[in-house]
Structure 1
Amino acid sequence: MVPDRRTECPAPAGRPGPRVGRAPGRRAGRRRVQVSGPEQPGAAGGRAAEGRRGPWVTVGVDGSPESRAALAHALVAAAGRRAGLDVVSAFVVGGFYAGAGAPLVVPDVAAIREDVDARARSLVQEVLSDPALAGVPGIRDVEVRVVVAPGPAAQVLLDASAGADLLVVGSRGRGGVRSVLLGSVGLHCATHAGCPVLVVHPEAGERPDGPVVVGFDGSDGARAALSAALEEATRAGTDVEVVAVYSVVDYWTDLERDAAPSEEAIRADLEERTRAAVAVAVADREAAGAAVPRIDVSVVDGASREVLVERSRTARLLVVGSRGRGTVRGLLLGSVALHCAMHAHGDVLVVHPVGEGRPTVRA
């Protein structure tokens, strides 16, 4: 294993308490609403992308410790974006037979909805009262809506986050087996969402002084991830570490080895291409009048998934593209992104490439 070489790309110089409202069935833009009786939004709040004004963040909650941590992260993310927040909770309704010949028993859907809604609101107030969030700039100005809808949790979240700037999910929910590090709902959302997905790993703890680490391989997904990483680091006031990984092939014969480029040539070429991509991303931000954080470039020999997971131990956030160069195009979530989302030692932002039927990345 050749030790990594890190080099630096210098950056250029350069109200009352929260409002918690219900989600009406249809509305023209985000407006302040009072807590009122139970509402029944459309399918999973699927009207989310219609009639919206301004950015918003969506988070899924189910009462688990992981979803509580996801809600706290979502509030901070919404405050940093000056965005609204939709707190989404799903429930499944199914009838059952009490016995042979007995009529079908159908639960009281309205009562279930009211109970789920009350629990979600209670969780919002509990998290908002956490002293750790008191000093977050703008958090008291975040408009919070509670959206409760029937259906499978993953589909409810995907519908509710259509057009959102960010979807936040916990690494596990109530249904997750402890040995499974990414629950089925989080995995489904990270795979199919039309916006960036933040997977929160609460057991890792906070690293406010750590860098934003982004994996880069030159793919469209990696370029989108790089742009998102620069934006996240700017909001957090921290650095970015761009990590490019290569592997040295163990050839069978000396003839193959002699014909192949040397490790030094591979490393130099990868670093040159990575720096060129960083320069383009920096130029795009400067052209838009956006600040540019300090950027380090690391070129490392190893397996991408292992290198990035190891880097996540000290990172504030790990950012990965949903697919890299080595992924079959039919797969919606690449093996490296999936491995990182499941096994990282901190929060992971999964960014889908621009196009391919998805909205422009706005992480």
Structure 2
Amino acid sequence: MSPWEPPQFSPPIRGIVVGHDGSPAADDALRWAIEEARLRHCPLHVVRAWVLATAIRDTGVPYGTVPSMEECQRATERHLAEAVAAVDTTGVEVHQHVVHGPSAQALMAAAADADLLVVGERGGGGFAGLRLGSVAEQVSRHAPCTVVVVRAAGG
């Protein structure tokens, strides 16, 4: 069996990159990014990064077993596809990317040639009392392009 190789970003990504971690804030960021891509007539790249600590738990493997990296990757791809399918993307060219690695670094790598990077104000992890999550803070400080942090609906 060959060693598992995580997917990488090969061609430069142009247009809008939006991070999605499965949280309600990420859904808000996705909807905002879709509307912006519609207005700009540009492609939208939805990026989901994962590491074992944040891997999807319902991978389909029997209870008590540890899923493989491939199973985690497929489960994460499925969850991202479901999130994208739940919103109206009419008129927008949407690309989905699931990568293994820390979220902030994956988003900044994806946005290296992008026009805009969009994230929710805070994801599903960390401390509930924080107004700005760690990924939003990292990308707003270090991203290679303009960053929009979408405030959560009702927030």
Name the TM-score, length of structure 1 as normaliser.
0.37
Structure 1 counterpart of 2:76, one-letter code: V
Alignment partner, residue 126 of structure 1 = 86
Alignment partner, residue 76 of structure 1 = 35
Alignment partner, residue 260 of structure 1 = none
1:57 Cα deviation after fit: 0.4
Structure 2 counterpart of 1:65, one-letter code: P
SS of the residue corresponding to residue 140 of structure 1 reads coil
1:189 Cα deviation after fit: 0.5
Establish whether residue 164 from structure 1 lines up as the match of residue 114 from structure 2.
yes
Moved over 6 A (4+): none
Contact 2:7 2:100 in 1 (8 A): no
Query: Alpha carbons of 1:119 and 1:73: their partners in 2 closer, same or farther (altered >3 Å)?
Result: same
Rg: which structure is higher? Answer: 1
CA distance in 2, matches of 1:93, 1:203: 29
Contact 2:118 2:149 in 1 (8 A): yes
Instruction: Give CA deviations for 1:18-77 in whole Å, capped at 9, x if unaligned.
Output: xxxxxxxxxxxxxxxxxxxxxx631xx2x352xx6xx41000111110000000001011
SS of the residue corresponding to residue 172 of structure 1 reads coil
Decide which of 88, 101, 110 is 2:70's aligned counterpart: 110
RMSD across aligned positions (CA) = 2.1
Alignment partner, residue 87 of structure 1 = 46
Structure 2 counterpart of 1:189, one-letter code: V
Alignment partner, residue 201 of structure 1 = 151
CA distance in 2, matches of 1:197, 1:48: 21
Name the TM-score, length of structure 2 as normaliser.
0.83
Structure 2 counterpart of 1:76, one-letter code: E
1:178 Cα deviation after fit: 1.8
Contact 1:86 1:145 in 2 (8 A): yes
Greater relative contact order (Cα < 8 A, sep 6+): 2
CA distance in 2, matches of 1:41, 1:110: 11
Alignment partner, residue 41 of structure 1 = 7
CA distance in 2, matches of 1:41, 1:178: 31
Unpaired runs of at least 5, structure 1: 1-39, 95-104, 129-138, 205-344, 346-363
1:153 Cα deviation after fit: 0.7
Alignment: residue pair count: 140
1:203 Cα deviation after fit: 3.1
Contact 1:48 1:162 in 2 (8 A): no
CA distance in 1, matches of 2:93, 2:71: 26
Contact 1:48 1:163 in 2 (8 A): no
Establish whether residue 174 from structure 1 lines up as the match of residue 133 from structure 2.
no
Unpaired runs of at least 5, structure 2: 1-5, 54-64
SS of the residue corresponding to residue 90 of structure 1 reads strand
